[in-house]
Each structure stands twice: as structure tokens, then as C-alpha cells.
């Protein structure tokens, strides 16, 4: 009775404050177990994201108590004659308002309220988790059993549903594939309000659509994630290159070892184009007492490249780790005497970015605009990208880390919704910049955003067929070009699973159908 009273009160406030177009009795009949909130803190939080470049105010925010809450709300919006946009929000780490909705409802999947705790199956080596669960909490839960997921993102304070709706990538992807290839089963609420279990064997069309589907086909309420025995420690190594060809050849050699026992477990890299310490917000890896400056090394075009690799190990094989690492390093062509090494617990390595986050928060440098640009670049054109962008457009100022590392396309499932370059190997190039209002024009949001546009224009004019990861476009024609030959399948799946276009409208892929069902728009 109390919850129904609160819901009635919330609906009345919606009518008064924002002019709710949905019939209030439709919401009352939902009998939601969770909380429908109009609190300024909830609405304000849902109206912004990590990107800090856009705002969109929802009418209300639902904190669901179950998957059934999510299904009831979506079904009500689908069946309503008025229509209502629905966006699922995890930890709010989107860059361009993808999880926002204006004059709709946001379902806050992550937060203090967790409908179901993680459930680990030691026998079958998987964990069932709520779609809004953060990966850091998945890790903590599975480590209690000595287990861990196989594939990660660099930052663990992201929701499971959020990363699976994109791909979820880090330095393990060359070997295990992205996170979404390590999922056995999903529970999904479609745009019709249906709560369905899907996998490769059951409702496979929905399963393939949702993975990498940018939230367009359903809201993930549960994921069954593959596990492996968790290593105890990590040997973390960084080596430097002044020659881009040597750098990429070594990266490509290392990922060619996927599936073999003698390999590194993580392969990434980053670009250094500005003077100063070879360090960044992603870690405190290099000692401030032992600074390395670009000017002290020969750098082709003023640019250095850092290969970042790890080898996992247990206490039982710690005595052989030196030999294994040395054997792998002998095959590489980095700058002599540029090897930086540290050993640390597995958890500390996976959670390395969060430690840097805390330092930036202490300096008020975290909650700033983040005009990030993430691109998949085909292997055949990565050298052209280096010349035109790293040694050209960027100059000597980055305003944040620039990641670059290759992945094996055969580790990606082409039946999913995600699109990648049509080559056996492609690179992620991630420009993870922060815009600062400190009087330096080259660190400002306008300058960095214009630089992103110049990079995309350069790729277009040079014929480099890049694909955006965490894509952002403003017109459907741009989306059609992005998806290419997958567009027909993508749009057909949309009509099947979200025919009224009510889900994830912040992606700006499909115009909402807010008329009664059957009407055109």
C-alpha cells in the first residue's frame, strides 16, 4: 500500500511539473516493486554522463527492484497510445548522451539497490549477474571462489549491461575476445516489454542483436558470464619504441600467439607525443624518482610508443615467471634499456585506473568534459593513421592518454550487432582526452572537439575505413554508413524487437514512433 501511495504521488507530480502524456492509470496498474523517483538528485544524475558535453532531463527515474519492474515499465510504454522513451542507465559512463532521454523515463540499473546478487557456479564456471552490476563487484564476488571473468575493460566501474551492449574490450581481447563473446546467456527485456532468456541455442536472434546492439533491442537484466581460475599475481611490463613499424610488428606478433601457452596475457600500448614524464592518469607505473623524458630518447617525428604487456602467474609457478617473460621479450625490438617492470596482485592490476581516478577526483579533474574518440583502424592503414594523426594533427599536446593496440577479428562474433573493419587484424585507437577550463585554448573542449572532427575528416579523405567504437552520430545516414552491409539486418531486428523505437533514443539511430501502434511517422 505504501509503495502504491508513493507511486501515485510521483505520478501526480509528473503531471503537474512536466505534463506527463502517459495515462497515469497505466503507471498505477504496473504495481512496481521499485521506486519511481522525481527527486532532483536522481533526475539530475540521469540528465548527465561522464562525457559532460550534453544534458537531457528525463521526467522520472525508476530504480527497479526486479527484472519484472523493467518489463512492466517498458510494456506500458509500448502499449500506451501516447508512447514514452525509455533509456537504461548503468554507471553513467557514456560520452555523448547515449543513455539519456528527454521527456522520457530512465531506468537506473546500477546503484545501491541490487535486485539480485551475483550467483557463482563453481562446477560450471560461470556467474549470473544483474545487468546493472558493476564489473568491480563481479570481480569481488567471483574471487571469493578463486575465479574471475576472462575478458575485461580497463576501467571496472562500468555496468555489465553497458559494456555488453557495446563489446567490452581491453588487452585480453586478442586472446579471449571482447567481453560479449564470453557470455553464455542473457535475460533481456525487449522493446515490447517481453522478458526473454536468450543464448546461442535459445532466442538466438535476440541474443546476437543485443550483444553490441547499443541498447536498441532490449535491456539486459541478467548475464551469465564465463569464468576461469583467477591468477594471484601479474608481471606488468612496459617497453618503449621510437619506430612505429617495429612497435606495430611486435604487437601483431604478440597477438598472433593467442591460444598458445607461451604468450603474454594482456597486450596494449599507448602513444607519447608530448614532452614530460612518460606517465598518464591510467597508473602510477613509472617512478617519479626515475623520470624518462622524450627528449632523452630518439623519437621518430617526436613520437614515442609504449608497449604494455602482462604475464599472469600463481604462487606455485612464481619461480619460472622470469624465464617465461625473458623468452617472450627476446623476440621484441624495443629500445634497449627501456624495460620497466613491476609485480602486483591481480586485483590491483585490473583496478589500476580507479586508483588514478581517485587522485584526479582529489584535484577536481575527474568531473570535466571528456571528448573521447575511439576508433577501430584496419591494420593495412595503421601506418597512414600514425603519419596523419600521431605525427600530424595532434602536434605535441594530447590532453590525455592515447591507447593503441591490435585485436584478432576471429575472436569477434560477426553475428552480433557490432561492426569492425573487414581485416583479420584491426587496431583500437582511443583518444581519451579531458577538456580543461584553465585558459589554455589547446586543452579546451572546443579545440579538442574540433581536433576529433579533423581526425575523422582526415580518415575520410585518406580512404581509411575506420569504425567508431562507442559510436556517436547525429543523422541516420551517418548510422547507415557506419553499419554498412549490416544496416539491413540491424534495422530489421529493430522492427522485430523494438518496433516503436522507444529504447535507447539517446543513441539517435531511429526516430521514436510515439504515435499509436500501426500508424506511420
Tens of pLDDT along 337-366?
899 999 999 999 999 999 999 999 999 999
Q: By the 8 A CB rule, do 85 and 101 touch? A: yes
Residue 276 has pLDDT above 50, yes or no: no
pLDDT at 22: 54
12/137: higher pLDDT: 137
Mean pLDDT of all residues in the chain?
90
**pLDDT for position 84:** 83
User: In angstroms, rounded to a whole number, what is the distance separating the alpha carbons of residues 385 and 27?
Assistant: 52
Return the closest-CA partner of residue 251 out of 297, 178, 336, 308: 308
7 or 224, greater pLDDT: 224
Would you say residue 220 has pLDDT above 60? yes
Give the chain's end-to-end CA distance (angstroms, integer). Answer: 40
Q: Is the pLDDT of residue 1 over 50?
A: no
509 contacts 495 by C-beta, under 8 angstroms: no
Q: Are 412 and 181 in contact (CB under 8 A)?
A: yes
Candidates 42, 133, 137, 154; catalytic one: 154
**Residue range 509-518: mean pLDDT, rounded:** 67
DSSP secondary structure code for residue 409 in this structure: G
- Region 476-502 average pLDDT: 97
Three-state secondary structure call for residue 107: strand
C-alpha span between 45 and 39 (Å, rounded): 10
Crossing angle of the two packed helices 487-497 and 476-483, in degrees rounded to 10: 120
265 vs 515, more confident: 265
198's enclosing H/E stretch is strand 195-199
Indicate which residue of 49, 69, 208, 268 is catalytic.
268
How far, rounded to the nearest angstrom, does the alpha carbon of residue 186 sit from its chain's CA centroid?
18
Mean pLDDT, range 474-500, rounded to an integer: 97
370 is catalytic: no
Q: Flag whether pLDDT at 514 surpasses 60.
A: no
277 closest CA partner among 316, 306, 252? 306
Inter-residue contact 433 to 368 (CB < 8 Å): no
Backbone angles phi, psi at 61, to 5 degrees: -130, 130
Residues 37, 69 contacting (CB under 8 angstroms)? no
For residue 294, what pLDDT is reported?
Answer: 53
pLDDT band at 399 (very low <50, low <70, confident <90, very high): confident
pLDDT digits (tens, 9 = 90+) for 226-243: 999 999 999 999 999 999
Mean pLDDT of 373-378: 98
Alpha-carbon distance 138 to 370, whole Å? 26
Is residue 279's pLDDT more than 80? no
Q: Is the dihedral of CA 479, 480, 481, 482 positive or negative?
A: positive
Q: Label the pairing between strands 105-108 and 86-89.
A: parallel
Q: How far apart are CA 125 and CA 411, in angstroms?
A: 20
- Taking the C-alpha atoms of residue 430 and residue 280, their distance in angstroms, rounded to an integer, is 14
Which residues, in sequence order, are CB contacts of 201 under 8 Å at separation 6+? none
* Ranges of H-type helices in 306-436: 321-329, 346-350, 352-362, 382-385
Give the per-residue pLDDT at 71.
97
Q: Mean per-residue pLDDT for 78-98?
A: 90
Q: In this prediction, what percent of the chain has a pLDDT beyond 90?
A: 79
Q: Where are the alpha helices (DSSP H) in 104-260?
A: 135-143, 160-164, 173-176, 204-210, 244-255
What nine digits make up the cell of 306?
609504449
Count each helix (H run) and each strand (E run) in the chain, helices first.
16, 18
Active site residue 441: no
Distance of CA 443 to the CA centre of its chain: 24
- State the number of CA atoms in the 13 A half-sphere of 171 facing the CB: 24
Per-residue confidence (pLDDT) for residue 338, from 0 to 100: 92
Nearest alpha carbon to residue 188 among 495, 482, 498, 428: 498
pLDDT at 300 over 80: no
Q: What pLDDT score does 518 carry?
A: 42
Give the per-residue pLDDT at 283.
45
Q: What pLDDT sits at residue 416?
A: 98
Tell which residue, 343, 457, 412, 510, has the closest CA to residue 182.
412
The rounded Cα 41 to chain-centroid distance in angstroms is 25
- Please name the residues in contact with 260: beta carbons below 8 A apart, sequence gap of 6 or more: none
Higher-pLDDT residue of 168, 79 = 168
Indicate if 268 belongs to the active site: yes
Question: Could you give phi then psi for residue 218, rounded to 5 degrees?
Answer: 175, 170
Section 129-140 average pLDDT = 98
Catalytic residue among 63, 93, 176, 472: 93
Q: Please give the share of the chain, as a percent, with pLDDT higher than 70.
A: 87
- The confidence score (pLDDT) of residue 508 equals 94
Going by C-alpha positions, the residue among 119, 96, 97, 114 that lies closest to residue 106 is 97
- List CB contacts of 426: < 8 A, sequence separation 6 or more: 376, 377, 378, 379, 406, 407, 409, 420
pLDDT-based confidence at residue 27 (cuts at 50, 70, 90): low
Residue 225 is placed in which grid cell? Answer: 558470464
Amino acid at each position: 500500500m505504501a509503495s502504491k501511495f508513493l507511486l501515485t504521488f510521483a505520478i501526480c507530480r509528473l503531471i503537474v511539473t512536466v505534463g506527463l502524456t502517459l495515462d497515469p492509470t497505466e503507471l498505477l496498474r504496473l504495481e512496481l516493486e521499485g521506486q519511481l523517483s522525481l527527486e532532483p538528485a536522481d533526475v539530475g544524475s540521469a540528465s548527465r554522463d561522464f562525457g559532460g558535453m550534453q544534458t537531457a532531463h528525463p521526467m522520472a527515474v525508476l530504480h527497479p527492484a526486479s527484472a519484472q519492474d523493467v518489463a512492466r515499465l517498458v510494456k506500458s510504454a509500448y502499449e500506451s497510445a501516447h508512447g514514452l522513451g525509455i533509456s537504461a542507465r548503468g554507471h553513467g559512463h557514456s560520452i555523448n548522451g547515449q543513455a539519456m532521454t528527454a521527456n522520457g523515463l530512465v531506468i537506473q540499473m546500477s546503484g545501491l539497490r541490487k535486485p539480485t546478487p551475483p550467483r557463482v557456479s563453481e562446477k560450471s564456471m560461470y556467474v549470473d549477474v544483474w545487468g546493472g552490476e558493476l564489473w568491480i563487484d563481479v570481480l569481488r564476488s567471483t574471487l571469493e571462489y578463486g575465479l574471475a571473468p576472462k575478458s575485461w575493460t580497463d576501467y571496472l566501474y562500468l555496468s555489465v549491461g553497458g559494456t555488453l551492449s557495446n563489446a567490452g574490450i581491453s588487452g585480453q581481447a586478442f586472446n579471449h575476445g571482447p567481453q560479449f563473446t564470453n557470455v553464455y546467456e542473457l535475460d533481456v527485456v525487449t522493446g515490447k516489454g517481453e522478458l526473454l532468456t536468450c543464448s546461442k541455442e535459445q532466442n538466438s536472434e535476440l541474443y546476437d542483436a543485443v550483444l553490441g546492439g547499443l541498447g536498441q533491442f532490449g535491456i539486459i537484466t541478467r548475464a551469465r558470464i564465463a569464468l576461469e581460475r583467477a591468477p594471484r599475481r601479474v608481471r606488468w611490463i612496459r617497453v618503449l619504441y621510437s619506430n612505429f613499424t617495429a612497435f606495430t610488428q611486435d604487437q601483431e606478433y604478440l597477438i598472433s600467439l593467442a591460444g598458445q601457452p607461451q604468450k603474454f596475457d594482456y597486450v596494449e600500448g599507448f602513444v607519447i607525443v608530448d614532452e614530460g614524464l612518460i606517465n598518464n592518469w591510467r597508473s602510477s607505473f613509472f617512478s617519479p624518482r626515475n623520470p624518462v623524458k622524450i627528449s632523452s630518447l630518439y623519437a621518430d617525428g617526436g613520437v614515442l610508443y609504449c608497449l604494455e604487456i602482462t604475464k599472469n602467474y600463481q604462487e606455485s609457478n612464481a619461480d619460472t615467471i622470469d624465464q617465461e617473460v625473458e623468452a617472450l621479450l627476446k623476440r621484441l625490438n624495443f629500445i634497449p634499456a627501456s624495460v620497466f617492470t613491476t609485480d602486483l596482485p591481480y586485483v590491483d592490476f585490473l583496478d589500476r585506473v580507479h586508483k588514478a581516478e581517485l587522485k584526479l577526483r582529489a584535484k577536481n579533474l575527474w568531473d570535466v568534459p571528456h571528448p573521447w574518440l575511439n576508433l577501430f583502424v584496419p591494420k593495412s592503414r595503421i601506418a597512414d593513421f600514425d603519419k596523419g594523426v600521431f605525427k600530424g594533427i595532434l602536434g605535441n599536446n594530447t590532453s590525455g592518454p592515447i591507447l593503441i593496440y591490435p585485436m584478432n577479428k576471429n575472436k569477434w562474433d560477426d553475428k552480433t550487432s557490432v561492426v569492425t573493419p573487414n581485416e583479420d587484424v584491426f587496431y583500437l585507437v582511443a583518444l581519451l582526452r579531458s577538456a580543461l577550463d584553465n585558459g589554455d585554448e589547446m586543452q579546451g573542449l572546443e579545440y579538442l572537439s574540433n581536433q576529433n572532427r579533423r581526425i575523422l575528416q582526415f580518415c575520410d579523405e585518406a580512404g581509411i575505413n575506420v569504425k567508431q567504437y562507442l559510436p556517436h552520430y547525429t543523422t541516420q545516414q551517418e548510422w547507415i554508413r557506419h553499419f554498412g552491409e549490416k544496416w539491413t539486418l540491424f534495422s530489421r531486428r529493430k522492427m522485430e524487437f523494438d518496433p516503436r523505437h522507444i529504447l535507447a533514443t539517446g543513441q539517435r539511430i531511429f526516430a521514436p514512433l510515439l504515435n499509436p501502434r500501426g500508424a506511420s511517422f
